[in-house]
Amino acid sequence: MDDVMELEVLRRENERLYGELNNALLNNYIYETIMNILPDGFLVVSRDGSIRDINEAYCKFFGVSRESVIGTPIRNLIPNTKMLEIMEKNLTEIDTFHEFIAGTTAGELRVAVTRLPVRTRAGEMFASVAHIKFSRYNAKLMQSIQEMGEEIEYYRKELIRHSIEMYSFESLPTASPAYREAKIMAQRFATSDLPILLQGETGVGKEVFANAIHNASERSGGPFICINCTTIPADLLESELFGYEDGAFTGGRRGGKRGKFEMADKGTLLLDEIGDMPLSMQVKLLRVLQDNVIEKVGSERPTKVDVRILAATNQNLEQKIKDKTFREDLYYRLNVLPVFIPPLRERIEDIPALAYAILEELNNKYVQKRSIALETISRLQQYSWPGNIRELRNVIGRCFMTCDQDIIKPDHLPPRVLTETDIHTNDGHALNEMLVDRERDMIVNTLLKYTCNCSKTAKALSVHRSTLYAKMQKYSISLASLRQSLESPDRRIGI
């Protein structure tokens, strides 16, 4: 029985030793793999000055084989070695230069080296190790980085070029006088660095206009950054705009974060839906516009920024000033150069071109191909488009995907569009004529009331002046005829 127990003990001991041997072999294999896969040189010198280990990269550098130098004195390979001094004086040298003696190496004469002594756990010195960085590898790495930088710069320029082609005033053709006037004003304003206020209903394309302004400006090579003041909670808006320092608040990104102003430096920043910005932030924004400096959250050091400001809103900021929800001084800071973008219902002549352009995008993106019937275009022109171009894009995209034919017909349109346009197609002609007559009379009477002053008339009708001009042209309203009627005793209108 004792013999059996003794054999069991021996078996377990053998298994333990076998396991340790396997672990040692595995660790040695890992060590050898790491040593020989790296392009840097590695060297280990024993206490007696002989080479204990050397990797393939260092052997290749000297033009020798690993087997031929292991166990030989280090001075045979490197006459002016400092590896022995490292052990004798217990020195540590990090990233110092070593000059080889000419003729002792087939490689370069100067390398960067880190050397340090190695001791046992008991504190006994038994070796020194060296990590050698060859400059040719660094040069190769720098060349790769430079090539990557050139490639990144190429794609950056291509992205800018594509952005300019996609978001340029040339890419916004129109047959609408009101829209054409808005484009002309925006192009003119793009050449300056003054703030621009883009006004218009939701979905009219204010951000598209902002991109076109940026790309037509001298800042087109800089960044274009947009922030929507509605979608960001009030307590986070300051850090989003101005950034924050490391440790400024719990949950912040380690190392801090750049804000939109800093990101837009030397470029353009669009403050979308500016009418929804909290009053507390309006004060801080006003200070930035006045001084061109920002203060990150958690920092007392101001940062200079060079940013062109564009603001966009679908709200009546003058009414918000009266309601005490928007600062009057900020309004005048932002509304230096106003641009009003007319809604889609006031530029129905552009709907066919817009519809065909959206359809072309979808045909290029997807396998299936669609066309659109003229009757469908006519229905689209009769709809009021409360969501403007954004809604038009949504409607055509839905029709494209749900249509079971190659041609998008009127019955493929969403119910809300069909319901409204049915009024026009059935008995809506008389109603439309009545509405047209009423609108024309309202414009004429208001012009007469304000003695043909178009600015006062547009304000009284709550429309932009460009919209008023467009409707006057549409209804053939002549200011000259109106002025004659004002001078006439009976004020009869003959237009």
CB 457 within 8 A of CB 450: yes
Percent residues over pLDDT 70 in the chain: 79
243-244 and 371-372 beta bridge pairing = unpaired
CB 305 within 8 A of CB 260: no
Q: What is the CATH number of domain 38-133?
A: 3.30.450.20
The pLDDT value recorded for residue 430 is 52
CB 433 within 8 A of CB 142: no
Q: How far is CA 246 from the centre of its chain?
A: 23
Q: Where are the beta strands (DSSP E) in 273-415?
A: 293-294, 303-304, 307-313, 337-340, 371-372, 407-408
CB 252 within 8 A of CB 259: no
SS3 310: strand
The pLDDT value recorded for residue 143 is 61
CB 330 within 8 A of CB 282: yes
CA pair distance 357, 243, nearest whole angstrom: 39
CA pair distance 376, 356, nearest whole angstrom: 12
CB 307 within 8 A of CB 264: yes
The pLDDT value recorded for residue 194 is 95
The pLDDT value recorded for residue 160 is 55
Which whole-number Å values give the CA distances from 310 to 62, 253, 286, in the listed order?
63, 28, 14
Every domain of the chain and the residues it spans = 38-133, 167-342, 345-426, 429-487
Helix pair angle (206-216, 177-190), 10° resolution: 40
CA pair distance 322, 182, nearest whole angstrom: 27
Q: What is the pTM of this model?
A: 0.57
Residue ranges in the chain modelled with pLDDT below 70:
1-11, 13-37, 106-107, 135-147, 150, 153-166, 250-252, 421-437, 462, 487-495
Helix pair angle (177-190, 465-474), 10° resolution: 150
CATH architecture of 345-426: Orthogonal Bundle (1.10)
* Token pair for 256: 């801090």
CA angle at 197 for the pair 191 and 200, rounded to the nearest 5°: 120
The pLDDT value recorded for residue 138 is 59
CB 215 within 8 A of CB 171: no
SS3 94: strand
pLDDT in tens, 408-449: 999 999 988 888 766 555 554 555 565 666 778 788 888 888
CA pair distance 73, 280, nearest whole angstrom: 75
CATH architecture of 167-342: 3-Layer(aba) Sandwich (3.40)
Picking from 55, 74, 75, 79, the residue whose alpha carbon sits closest to that of residue 65 is: 55
CA pair distance 201, 204, nearest whole angstrom: 6
